[in-house]
Chains A and B, each alone.
Chain A
Amino acid sequence: MTKHPRTLLIVSAALLALAAPVRAQQSTVFLSSQLRPVESAQIMRTQILKGYAGKVEFVPEQPAELVVRLQAEKQAGKSTISLVAGVHGELQPLVPAGILTPLDDVAATLKARGFAPELLALGKFGTDHQLMIPWMQATYVMVANKKALPYLPAGADINALTYAQLADWGAALQKATGKRLLGFPAGPTGLMHRFFEGFLLPSYTGGVVTTFKSPEAIVAWTEFAALWKFVTPNSTNINFMQEPLLTGDVWVGFDHIARVIDALTKQPNDFVTFPAPAGPKGRGWMPVLVGLSIPTGAPDVAGAKALIDHLTLPATQIITASTVGFFPVTSAALPPDLSPGMTLAVSAVQKTGAAKDGIATLLPVGLGAKSGEFDKIFLDTFQRVVLRGEKPDAVLARQGAALQALMAETGAPCWRPDPVSAGACQVK
């Protein structure tokens, strides 16, 4: 028995020796809050990064932890991460902390790629330097099962739907099938808040923050609460619209293109795609821009720049679009022979961007770590007005005060489509 502790010691010493050298391997570490789902990450490694000469370690990371990690590495003065990818709003809090290095030289060398100027401008985050190079973009779309098409209200154009027509459509579906067949991703990790921030409210009020408690906003919430009677009650469990679409629990659903792509590629013959509905002020929609940045102190700046070059190549942009459903940010033209599922996805995004009555709405800008609270204000309003049936004017007055306090605290100026403001954006 005396042997036992000694064996334990030997074993643990051996384990320590094993654990130590694991760190020493040279490759460019690429941390990304996008392409986290297993299949997308796999495609990233095997197809999108395939043509790249160097060695890349693609590490998917949850957005909140991505920010913590970059801050920690900056504070400790020793970095492992060479390239970081995230949505515009996720990288924003890293700007005031001085974590992103200027990439003006990269932007200059890549000029011939033909980046859309407004996307390139977003990459400056309101500073004088290019801190982020656009990588890919997406938006939110509507997907309908073809079985739902016969019930589309008479005279309605599916590509120019209004919220009133969507409600009529839902009512007709319920009358015909006895089930509530509209769907929204209001589950715990669903992206429902983006629907209010980028689609519903801009469509009805033409703004987001300034018009938060306007009479138009009260109309928006009242009508949406009425529409909810035709939305499946299971919506509060839906995080990814592709699953209920595939199982037939939802016939007409709204979600981020990356969260319906599975349904479109698996059963392209069963679905149609179209832009989100329009309200009295227009067709609110939210473009999502994913960009690439190099953190200060990155161990492999040359590798990171080479990787940016590779990811923005026309060929790579096309592979990215045809495999994971994120669209080119450059002038790369998509080939005509896309798979049927991808064609559905592409056409929905193109129709959304091209809509004549479109009101492009940015993701919240300048809220830093408080963007979660911003989202919560919209979700709380949704909870109270739509799910619990409280009076919208009282709820909006109260949530509007919370929103005003949040804007005053962060000092964030208005973003599109709210009109430009001198100081912090004000709730009118």
Chain B
Amino acid sequence: MTLRRGIFLSGIGVISAWVLLPIWLIAASAVGGQGQISAWPKPLWPAGGTLDGLASFLAIEGVWKATANSVAVALLTMAMAILLGAPAGYALARFNFRGANLFRVLVLMTRAFPVAILALPLTVSFIRFGVYDTAFGVALMHTTLALPFAVLVSASLFQAIPRELEEAAWVFGCTRWQAAMRVVLPLALPGIVATAIFAFVISWNEVFAASVLTVRNRTLTAYLLAVLSESPMHLQFAGGFLLIVPSVLFIFLVRKHLFAMWGIANR
């Protein structure tokens, strides 16, 4: 009992440290000033707390505009990924059609090509379609990246909802659409929300497509890549820290739904 419990607890400790330690070191370097960054071995507690790095980072021209762009792109991606992904997932779960398995594989294929080799042709066609350098254009690209998750996760969500419930709704006079909306969707909602959040995080973190497809309307990550890569370390850490905060907060707030998506907790 005690041994097993000890192993269990140390396992938890290792996994937590694995995730938390880097975040903590970034946070400490963001507020620790120049001394903290060059110090070795790294003190676990920042020597002198200063918000200068964070403040000067937030004062950089264009950071707020880029943040607004990032939020807009992420929300658009989230909306489009769900609007396209959930129906596709429903179809995969409920209908047996020819090529369903092929479709599953093909949907994953969108992630098989490195965006880097597509940079030039993508940019060219985005310019031709008139969506180059717009939030919508970047969201299109991010939706493509988020769709595999949206489709496959929502397919398994819908699969987990008994078909009988839907059939009962039909018996009581619902049309197929009404049954899907009133019976299936509410049950699947927590999972769909989690999928949406996943799409949000994918878009928020993506940097390559965002920086190739925009010039003036950069998302935060793309903007940071261009400005921060050659800036003093404490500014880089401040930027990195502020960049993880939203996704960590976001995931923390919706963790229950995330577990639902993975089927750990009950709906």
Contact = CB atoms under 8 A, between A and B. Distances in A.
Interface stretch (A15-23, A112-120, A196-204, A209-217): A15-23
Given A31-B215, A59-B215, A69-B123, A1 B186 contact: yes
Contact of A36 (B75, B120, B136, B226): B226
Contacts of B79: 8, 11-12, 15
B181 interface: yes
Given A2-B181, A5-B181, A62-B229, A19 B215 contact: no
A335 to B, nearest CB: 27
B172 to A, nearest CB: 16
A5 B184 CA distance: 13
B232 interface: yes
B167 to A, nearest CB: 19
A38 B227 contact: yes
A45 B120 contact: no
Given A42-B60, A81-B215, A22 B135 contact: yes
A42 B61 contact: yes
B231 interface: yes
A39 interface: yes
B220 interface: no
Most chain A C-beta atoms within 10 Å of own C-beta, residue among B72, B79, B133: B79
Contacts of A242: 232
Nearest to A72: B123
B50 interface: no
A70 B181 CA distance: 48
A18 B72 contact: yes
A81 B127 CA distance: 13
Given A20-B134, A76-B128, A37 B231 contact: yes
Contacts of B127: 72-73, 76, 78
Interface string A174-202: 00000000000000010000000000000
A60 interface: yes
A4 interface: yes
A59 B133 CA distance: 13
A60 B120 contact: no
B225 A246 contact: no
Given A12-B79, A12-B80, A15-B72, A72 B120 contact: yes
Contacts of B61: 41-42, 45
Contact of B83 (A12, A18, A62, A262): A12
B91 interface: no
Contacts of A75: 120, 124
B181 to A, nearest CB: 5
A189 B80 contact: no
A420 interface: no
Nearest to B60: A38
B212 A69 contact: yes
Contact of A9 (B83, B133, B226): B83
Contacts of B124: 72, 75-76
Interface string B213-233: 001110000000111111111
Contacts of A45: 61
A247 B34 contact: yes
Interface in B185-221: 185-186, 189, 211-212, 215-217
B82 interface: yes
Interface string B47-89: 0000000000000110000000000100110011011000000
Interface residues of B, number: 46
Given A20-B136, A23-B133, A62-B226, A15 B120 contact: no
Contact of B76 (A16, A244, A246): A16
Contacts, number: 128
A23 B127 CA distance: 12
B227 A41 contact: yes
Contact of A5 (B80, B185, B227, B228): B185
A371 interface: no
A4 B184 CA distance: 13
A19 B72 contact: yes
Given A8-B79, A39-B231, A72-B124, A29 B185 contact: no
Interface in A22-71: 22-23, 25, 29, 31, 36-39, 41-42, 45, 57, 59-62, 65, 68-69, 71
B157 interface: no
A319 B215 CA distance: 27
Contacts of B186: 1
Contacts of B185: 1, 4-5
B38 A243 contact: yes
A229 to B, nearest CB: 21
A73 B182 CA distance: 48
Contact of A29 (B82, B136, B216, B230): B216
A78 B125 CA distance: 11
Most chain A C-beta atoms within 10 Å of own C-beta, residue among B34, B128, B231: B231
A240 interface: yes
Interface string A345-388: 00000000000000000000000000000000000000000000
Contact of B120 (A20, A57, A59, A71): A71
A80 interface: yes
Contacts of B76: 12, 15-16, 19
B119 A68 contact: yes
Nearest to A74: B124
B232 to A, nearest CB: 7
A16 B215 contact: no
A249 interface: yes
Contacts of A68: 119-120, 123, 212
Nearest to B230: A37
Interface in B3-43: 34-35, 37-38
**9 closest Cβ pairs, A-B complex:** A12-B79, A72-B123, A76-B127, A19-B135, A247-B38, A19-B136, A38-B231, A37-B230, A1-B186
